[in-house]
Structure 1
Amino acid sequence: MARTPSTQPTDAELEVLRVLWGSGPAGLGQVHASIQQTRPVALTTIATTLKTMLEKGLVGREDGPKGYLWKAVATRESTATGLVGKIVQHVFDGSARRLVAHLIEEGALDDRDRDEIRALLEGHAGTPAPRARKGRGK
């Protein structure tokens, strides 16, 4: 049985999304130039990536003065929710607590991060946590 194509963005697609989230609608050349500042990449590679992203529903396009203008359809928030959810399910067995513990133990959180997390937790005190969804076969 064929695997269902993923709707989650790849690393290259995330790179394009970050450009579009930052700039708003942009032409192929602008997206390419932005990514070219951090790493060498062919214009045709960006064009192919955008076409794949269009098929996945991550971006949209409209006619512009010099070709298509590309815009992000996937929001930063929905993308983060999907990617973090996938990590929590597949790496931390559905446990957000284990994800946070991992970040603390690895030293990934600085004092400011910990203070912000405490404030978020205190702001949600008394709010029931959503029940964790169990994966198949558990």
Structure 2
Amino acid sequence: MTHESRTLVVGAAVVRHGLVLAARRRRPAGFWEFPGGKCEPGEEAVAALHRELAEELGLSVELGCEVVPDDGGTWPISAELHLRVWLARPLGVPSPGPDHDQLRWLRPADLGSVQWLPADVPIAARIADLLEDR
């Protein structure tokens, strides 16, 4: 499957006062993620991220830099899905919507304390490294 034929998923590492937002999914139950979702056909990645955060958390954000893997590409989720993630500053207070049952603000050093979706594990590690360097 080519990169272009895979569906793009977008996510945000929302950072407030040095803490990172983790959202616990209802399904699969108990797994944590960086909030976001799939791009609609023809939708630009940044527009999709803003839409998804508004839908999922009632949240507007100011985007910062993109968090990229070592190869400079996208983060793999599966053969059908790949992920792009940005650091973001919240412009308001998030609240869990229909996809999440809990939100938690974590120190970068504590990002490993929750059970992330498998695709988000290396992203959490990268974000911890980025934020601890600041």
- Bin of the TM-score, shorter chain as denominator length: under 0.3
Whose radius of gyration is greater, 1 or 2?
Answer: 1
Give the number of the structure whose residues are more often helix, by fraction.
1
Bigger relative contact order, structure 1 or 2, given CA contacts below 8 A and separation 6+?
Answer: 2
Task: Using structure 1 for the length normalisation, give the TM-score.
Answer: 0.26
Task: Using structure 2 for the length normalisation, give the TM-score.
Answer: 0.27
